[in-house]
Structure 1
Amino acid sequence: MGNGATRTAVGPIAFVAVDQRDGNPLVRDELAHRFLPAGVRPLVALTRFRPVRRWLINATERKMPGIWASTLCRKCYIDDRFADAVRAGVEAVVILGAGFDTRAHRRPDPHRTRVYEVDLPENIDRKRKLLRGRLGESVALVPVDLESGELPAALSAHGYRPEQPTLFIAEAVTPYMAGESVRAMFEFLASAAAGSRLVCTFLRESFLDGTSLRGGEALHEEYVVRRKLWRFGLDPERIGDFLAGYGWRQVEQLGPQEYADRYLAPAGRSMPVAALETAVYAEKR
């Protein structure tokens, strides 16, 4: 996935860090600030003042309409599915492309369920340094490039057993992968134990090919055309069939309206939500 994908790990956690300055953050995360670059920390500290926070959000939204809310809402949704899986007794959680998210440390059972955080070696090294003393025995950091074909061996080397009912999380991962690498990853997921669960986000194919940008012209120009970082997308109507081909049954999909109804409205937030990706929850047949 390369250095370009490595650098994109900072953006989402920066959104979370800024949201902590709100009186009612959508995602509560006391560790997010640790991952901010030194040059960004003073600005984020100033966002405790509402006018500064609004200025920063609005400046971001002018370039990337709806990206702020969509990033926070997808984290809320995945956190909910994480909590559901823990209550249902899943034995392991595998977070594919974990980035700098700290979901393993804000979960409902900080010591019981084993969590495997998979990401590029550069991100894993930085995470290990920044969370020194906070990882504990229940979190395994697994350094591997998801496009290398070495995922099964890397997980096994860190103690993962494929016969365990597992929650797999792939948040904002598949867009950065080539199509053949996505399919190879799902070949691995096809061997998951019965009772396993999956929550994954997919970029809309119509955005990727430029036929329906939905206000995301600047994002398309930067991530698809110029930097060529986003490479894989699916039509939401075909995601269910795609998953079924690997033995997974789609349970639900969430898009902008569902995010707004489920997370923004109850929090009293009125923000646009980008229509660039779809969140999907599935269960292993």
Structure 2
Amino acid sequence: MEQRPRSQTAEIAAALRVWHTRLDDAPTIFDDRAVLPLLSPRMRQLVQPPPPLLAMQLRTMEGMHPELAALRGQTVTRARFAEDALDAAVDRGHRQIVLLGAGLDTTALRRPDLLARTTLLEVDQAPMQWWKRAHLPAKVANRMRFVAVDFARDRLAERLLDARIDPQTPLFANWMGCTYYLPPEAIGATLQGLAEVAAPGSELVADYWLPAGELSWRPRMLLRGVELALNTQQEPLLGLIRPDTLHRLAANTGWQVLEELDAPALRAHWLSERRDSLSVPAFARCLRLVRD
């Protein structure tokens, strides 16, 4: 029997990106069908295009209950936010890309142009990387650097230096889909560790989720449902955090917030003219930071 990836949340996020291309209207916000070979056989079966009648029923249900499409919308808008920021950073001359908590990120598969002219480092826990390397084409995997890190225990800067990152050259880091699984002290330690090897002008994109006390009842119930589901997968939410707390952690470790999009801004930027049911939950925010 083929072994599942160690992180089920990484696989679910990847499946939501694929499901966006199966169910939602064109144009796609983020097309990640490239991730299909990295999914387990069971998940590949689950993300097959639905029959037209089932697709219509799902769309009707999501139209009546927009929160059902909120996590899919959040997953693809955060991915698009990161991709746009990455392209802009590369245009400005950044040639080191660090994917923190890379999971089933497909930058190396989707963007051979970037793989050819940048150094791409994927940082994640070792079991996730073993799975991924076994499913990547060798010609792609051999062009990447894999950095095994436990964010709650390891010193990130040491691991990146061991992987021959150049601390004199600005980097671009993508830290999407990770902070909510880390306690605040680990979030701060990650920001500090990255800052120690990030030259001035380096950029970081990340997302985070607000605590339940900041929310009205409907998004609070959605967050509670997500929390219960993740507890069953033994990947609990540990890092729900207030904006002022995260901003303070960033400032204390040498990062300046350049841009922040809350849920209404994410909806306005990518969802306002769509006719499908995509939404973004009120607890979701995206950030772009620069190293002072």
TM tier relative to shorter chain: 0.7 to 0.9
Instruction: Give the structure 2 partner of residue 18 of structure 1.
Output: 19
Query: Which amino acid in the other structure matches residue 52 of structure 1?
Result: L
Determine which of 222, 226, 232 is the counterpart of 1:219: 226
Answering whether residue 257 of structure 2 is matched by residue 250 of structure 1, we say yes
| Counterparts in 2 of 1:268 and 1:105: CA distance versus 1, 3 Å | farther
Answering whether residue 118 of structure 2 is matched by residue 113 of structure 1, we say yes
Q: Return the structure number with greater helix share.
A: 2
Answering whether residue 96 of structure 2 is matched by residue 89 of structure 1, we say no
Determine if contact 1:18/1:53 at 8 Å carries over to the other structure.
no
Equivalent-residue separation in structure 2 for 1:224 and 1:277 (angstroms): 19
Q: Deviations over 1:38-59 (max 9, x none)?
A: 1232342233x44434556758
Equivalent-residue separation in structure 2 for 1:169 and 1:62 (angstroms): 28
Give the number of equivalent residue pairs: 281
1:142-181 matches, cutoff 5 A:
142-181=147-186
Equivalent-residue separation in structure 2 for 1:55 and 1:112 (angstroms): 45
Percent same amino acid among aligned pairs? 23
| Shift, 1:132, TM fit | 2.0
Q: Given the two structures, how large is their TM-score scaled by the length of structure 1?
A: 0.86
SS at match of 2:99: strand
SS at match of 1:46: coil
| Counterparts in 2 of 1:44 and 1:30: CA distance versus 1, 3 Å | closer
Answering whether residue 142 of structure 2 is matched by residue 140 of structure 1, we say no
Determine if contact 1:64/1:219 at 8 Å carries over to the other structure.
no
Q: Which has the higher contact order (CA 8 A, sep 6+)?
A: 2
SS at match of 2:186: helix
Equivalent-residue separation in structure 2 for 1:143 and 1:42 (angstroms): 29
Instruction: Give the structure 2 partner of residue 73 of structure 1.
Output: 77
Determine which of 198, 207, 230 is the counterpart of 1:201: 207
Answering whether residue 128 of structure 2 is matched by residue 126 of structure 1, we say no
Equivalent-residue separation in structure 1 for 2:203 and 2:99 (angstroms): 12
Equivalent-residue separation in structure 2 for 1:188 and 1:46 (angstroms): 42
Equivalent-residue separation in structure 2 for 1:210 and 1:156 (angstroms): 44
Determine if contact 1:13/1:35 at 8 Å carries over to the other structure.
no
Query: Which amino acid in the other structure matches residue 190 of structure 1?
Result: A
Q: Which runs of 4+ in 1 moved over 6 A?
A: 208-212
Q: Deviations over 1:65-110 (max 9, x none)?
A: 6111111111110111111111011120111100002123334533
Q: Given the two structures, how large is their TM-score scaled by the length of structure 2?
A: 0.84
- Give the superposed CA RMSD: 3.0
Q: Deviations over 1:251-285 (max 9, x none)?
A: 11112211112112355544221122211111111
Determine if contact 1:210/1:220 at 8 Å carries over to the other structure.
no
| Counterparts in 2 of 1:11 and 1:97: CA distance versus 1, 3 Å | same
Query: Which amino acid in the other structure matches residue 202 of structure 1?
Result: Y
Equivalent-residue separation in structure 1 for 2:239 and 2:103 (angstroms): 18
| Counterparts in 2 of 1:263 and 1:150: CA distance versus 1, 3 Å | same
| Shift, 1:207, TM fit | 5.7
| Shift, 1:216, TM fit | 2.7
Structure 2: runs of 5 or more not aligned: none
SS at match of 2:18: helix
Instruction: Give the structure 1 partner of residue 44 of structure 2.
Output: 41
Q: Deviations over 1:90-143 (max 9, x none)?
A: 120111100002123334533101111111111111111111235255421222
